[in-house]
Structure 1
Amino acid sequence: MTAPMTFAAHLRAILTLGLPLIGGHLAQFAIGLTDTVMLGWYGITDLAAVTLAHGYFFAFFMFGSGFAMAVMPLVATSAGLDDVQGIRRSTRMGLWLSFAFGLLALPAMLGSGTLLRLLGQDGTVADLAASYLRVAGWGLFPALLFMVLKSYLAALEHTRVVLWITLLAASSNALVNYILIFGNWGAPELGAMGAAIASVCTQSVSLLAVVLYARRLHEHQLFRRLWRPDWEMFARVLGLGLPIGLTLLCEVSLFAASTFMMGWLGEVPLAAHGIVLTVSGVTFMVHLGLSNVATIRTGTAFGRGDRTHMQRGAIAVSLLSLCFALGTIVAFLLIPEPILALFLDGDDPARPEVMATGVVLLALAALFQLVDGAQVVALGLLRGVQDTTIPMVVAVLSYWAVGLTVSYLLGFPAGMGATGIWLGLVCGLACAGILLMLRFWIRAIGRVPQPNAA
């Protein structure tokens, strides 16, 4: 019998696997980040519109990503059991479900203008956001399929190639943004529409690159007779992925709803909100990478029924997340102005107002760094043991019943505006972080069922 890994060995293994995943998430996030930065330089109206459009797009994207997230623990568990067929079957059906979801979501992208206006958004900003989504919505297909193959490769610990592909994609997105947003090198000046075109092109190139790499893993024969249905595995991925997608939707919709509420307050609060949300998103990518590591390593331990490995790994990944959260809290509180200045044109007349609002929001963002990291890592640990239904219920209660309700009540009836909306976000994330960690340590870690009994 193999001796249990030491705590130091767990830390080394998590960093070896996790750093490329974190880098890949940061590079993926850089696609939206470059949109925000460059549109902030281009104009506040375009920035506000794309902030609104990103919130709308990512609500659908994250829901659809549930099927990709389901592939990760399934592949990791199959890898722990040396089940090549299980790896192939779960990945294929993840691709099927992601494509099907894209077909269902596309009409909502193409007809987003009406819904945005019904949600009370400013007419000019809503029309520009809808124009962006009519183009960017087509990128949902390559983006979701890329997520499935990324989860497949990550679960098999092929993380470096995912990092390099995503870095290439982020670089190409920045280049095409530079050309099309501002009309450089003889191209038309398209503003927000240029950012939409760049995003679709980038997502398509990313998918092509990851498909070419996955074809090299001949032992899995991933794309051979891809059109053949596997209804048993289809149902299993659906059953695991749908609660994950709904959990992701609950969190993303909380932030999307906060964006819509900011839109009721005006263009300046919405722009400041977009910047702070983007900065918080950068730090979240680190926790998300650690969450993926938690899923992979817990999934392989789950496949072997190794409770000791699971416990030590969970402690190690939680500790790393905690240390990073403390560092970001210090940065958000001590250097808010330099951070915010990265996103704004120095000559924009609205800059002082956006900066003043942004400093307050960034301080509030510091409040939820600890709990935000805790909740996403706990979700990763729970997915590793294929526990997704109860976390979905926790997410509904935390993000919607607590977070959304408190945001609205403090923001509007209590008259706290942008500050109240962000305090609601803090409350919702804190509730989720505490309950999900309790769920893992009290229930999931207390009994480790075998995969076929999950």
Structure 2
Amino acid sequence: MKPSRLTEVRALAVIALPLIFAYLADVLMVITAKMVVGRLGAIDLAAAGISTDLSYQLCIVLMGFFSVVGVLVSEARGALRREQIVPELVRGLMLAGALGMAVTVVVLNLGFVLTVLGQDPEVIELAGPYYTGFAFAMLPIVWFGVLRSFAAAMMKTGFVLFITVITVILNYVLMQGLVHGSFGLPQLGIAGAGIAWSISMWFKFLCLAAYTFFVIRKQRLPLHAGTIGGLRAYGPLVWLGLPVAGIVAMESGLFAATSLLSGIMGTVELAAYQMVMGWIAIPFVISLGISEAAMVRVAYFVGARDPASARQAGNLGMVVGVAVPLLLVLIPVFAPGFVTRIFLNPSDPKYGDIAALVAGLLIIAAIFQVFDGLQAIASHALRGLKDAAVPLVIAGIGYWLIGLGSGYVMAFHFGWGAPGLWWGLAIGLAFTATLLAWRFELLAKRQLPE
């Protein structure tokens, strides 16, 4: 029997609320890191920011790929196939280990990438010591993403919040200490920021790994010899994960490209981009937490062969996930100077130019943030239906052809500069969100009995 809307909203909240606060804690960790590095100067902030953007985008793509572990586990739970739950997790962790190490190698050679992408030589030189340390955070970040998806599917997200909050505190102490020499730690400058990230990420992953083992033992989930299977057993993970990773790559690549284009314009534009993205990540991760909850709830009802409940879970997720962040994103629009002061000392020579640009970009960001949240939830709801190929095409057209294409034209050909890039983001996200939401409703209705 289909649960009531109130019951389903409560179920979404049980999964989503800890994830939301955990994601907010992650954002706080990024913000505090930028604040600490920003005290070294605008150039240092730009160097660490673009290195983090490019490196973390690779991890985000992989975490998108392995988010389908949550779909497969949740579907198995709905179908009462307990013997499939742990093998799905183990397969995800094994594949994540191999891909995580590959990403580590890429990040260690990020200087070459930045040179090819035409970034300022001074920024590249400063970035080197940072990404050398940050590279060793890649593997635990990806592994943590797999375990987080498993926790969401098992409706055990409270510990994710707890350990993330502890990691925020640890990361700040390490960041402040290793960058500026506080707390009796050696002063390493921008290099210390990368090392602090790596230590913090390994701590967070190992703690969640221990908790996951505890959950498996407590619920007596079966894992017998041979259940992991050979290469064919990875088929569902790979075939669903690849297009999902493609969708995430399309979106994260869109923002990475915007960051690079901002860097080509100059350090003022790049620093402003870092600040605005740091702030608007707050309403986005609220939608992201709800989207993961909607995904596993839709997958659960698919496994239970209850299409009406699956449709309701996805639609409610979209409604709630758009309404809440919409209220929050309006705050900095009325106090734009507040955002700039968070990241940069007013005594910095570039402060005035950056603050003026940030004020204008925040207005545009308030508009597109609604559609960014909607497309994230609709995309995750479609993953719950195991639909990812067509959404990948929609994302490619919306993010890159329409979004980046129009943004590039407005920025460089119409002479609008950074605001032109951001208007392009708004247009592309609006197109993508509308089509993805429409597709979920179409597919969900098709599965209903006549």
TM-score when normalising by structure 2: 0.95
1:285 corresponds to which residue? 285
Contact 2:43/2:267 (<8 A) preserved = yes
One-letter amino acid of the counterpart of residue 50, structure 1: A
- Between stretches 262-271 and 126-135, larger displacement belongs to 126-135
1:220 corresponds to which residue? 221
Alpha-carbon displacement from aligned partner over 1:381-415 (angstroms, at most 9, x marks no partner): 10111111111111111111111211211111221
CA shift, 1:227, in A, is: 11
CA shift, 1:106, in A, is: 2.5
One-letter amino acid of the counterpart of residue 286, structure 2: V
Structure 2 unaligned blocks of 5 or more: none
Give the Cα separation in 2 of the matches to 1:311 and 1:227. Answer: 32
Contact 1:250/1:400 (<8 A) preserved = yes
CA shift, 1:322, in A, is: 2.2
Contact 2:284/2:325 (<8 A) preserved = no
CA shift, 1:225, in A, is: 6.9
One-letter amino acid of the counterpart of residue 232, structure 2: E
1:452 corresponds to which residue? none
- Between stretches 79-88 and 330-339, larger displacement belongs to 330-339
Residues 414 and 227 (structure 1 numbering): CA distance in 2 closer, same or farther, change over 3 Å? farther
2:185 corresponds to which residue? 187
Alpha-carbon displacement from aligned partner over 1:36-81 (angstroms, at most 9, x marks no partner): 1222233111110111112211221112113321101111101111
2:209 corresponds to which residue? 211
Alpha-carbon displacement from aligned partner over 1:88-124 (angstroms, at most 9, x marks no partner): 1211111122111123223321111112011110001
One-letter amino acid of the counterpart of residue 345, structure 1: N
Give the Cα separation in 2 of the matches to 1:159 and 1:398. Answer: 32
2:346 corresponds to which residue? 346
Matched, 1:43 2:41: yes
1:419 corresponds to which residue? 419
Residues 163 and 448 (structure 1 numbering): CA distance in 2 closer, same or farther, change over 3 Å? farther
Equivalent of 2:156, from 155, 158, 163?
A: 158
Give the Cα separation in 1 of the matches to 2:135 and 2:255. Answer: 19
CA shift, 1:205, in A, is: 0.4
Matched, 1:110 2:111: no
One-letter amino acid of the counterpart of residue 171, structure 1: I
1:394 corresponds to which residue? 394
Contact 1:66/1:243 (<8 A) preserved = no
1:373 corresponds to which residue? 373
Matched, 1:233 2:233: yes
Give the Cα separation in 2 of the matches to 1:53 and 1:29. Answer: 16
CA shift, 1:195, in A, is: 1.3
| Residue aligned with 1:433, SS | helix
RMSD (Å) for aligned C-alpha atoms: 1.9
Matches within 5 A, 1:252-271: 252-271=252-271
Give the Cα separation in 2 of the matches to 1:314 and 1:295. Answer: 7
1:403 corresponds to which residue? 403
- Between stretches 227-236 and 293-302, larger displacement belongs to 227-236
| Residue aligned with 1:334, SS | coil
CA shift, 1:196, in A, is: 0.7
Matches within 5 A, 1:118-129: 118-129=116-127
| Residue aligned with 2:75, SS | helix
Contact 2:87/2:228 (<8 A) preserved = no
Contact 1:102/1:140 (<8 A) preserved = yes
Give the Cα separation in 1 of the matches to 2:260 and 2:335. Answer: 28
| Residue aligned with 2:344, SS | coil
Give the Cα separation in 2 of the matches to 1:82 and 1:100. Answer: 30
Give the Cα separation in 2 of the matches to 1:34 and 1:221. Answer: 42
Aligned-residue identity in percent: 30
Equivalent of 1:177, from 156, 175, 178?
A: 175
Residues 328 and 405 (structure 1 numbering): CA distance in 2 closer, same or farther, change over 3 Å? same
Give the Cα separation in 2 of the matches to 1:422 and 1:435. Answer: 20
One-letter amino acid of the counterpart of residue 425, structure 2: L
| Residue aligned with 2:251, SS | helix
Contact 2:73/2:88 (<8 A) preserved = yes
1:64 corresponds to which residue? 62
One-letter amino acid of the counterpart of residue 431, structure 1: F
Residues 171 and 221 (structure 1 numbering): CA distance in 2 closer, same or farther, change over 3 Å? farther
Residues 193 and 225 (structure 1 numbering): CA distance in 2 closer, same or farther, change over 3 Å? farther
Matched, 1:249 2:249: yes
TM-score when normalising by structure 1: 0.94
1:430 corresponds to which residue? 430
CA shift, 1:226, in A, is: 10
CA shift, 1:356, in A, is: 0.6
CA shift, 1:366, in A, is: 0.5
Residues 179 and 227 (structure 1 numbering): CA distance in 2 closer, same or farther, change over 3 Å? farther
Structure 1 unaligned blocks of 5 or more: 450-454
Residues 226 and 123 (structure 1 numbering): CA distance in 2 closer, same or farther, change over 3 Å? farther
Q: How many residues align?
A: 446
Contact 1:215/1:221 (<8 A) preserved = no
Residues 440 and 196 (structure 1 numbering): CA distance in 2 closer, same or farther, change over 3 Å? same
Contact 1:71/1:148 (<8 A) preserved = yes
One-letter amino acid of the counterpart of residue 142, structure 2: L
2:145 corresponds to which residue? 147
Equivalent of 2:71, from 64, 70, 73?
A: 73
Alpha-carbon displacement from aligned partner over 1:133-171 (angstroms, at most 9, x marks no partner): 222112111110111011111110001011111111111
Matches within 5 A, 1:326-345: 326-345=326-345
Contact 2:275/2:339 (<8 A) preserved = no
Residues 229 and 201 (structure 1 numbering): CA distance in 2 closer, same or farther, change over 3 Å? farther
CA shift, 1:86, in A, is: 1.4
CA shift, 1:197, in A, is: 0.7
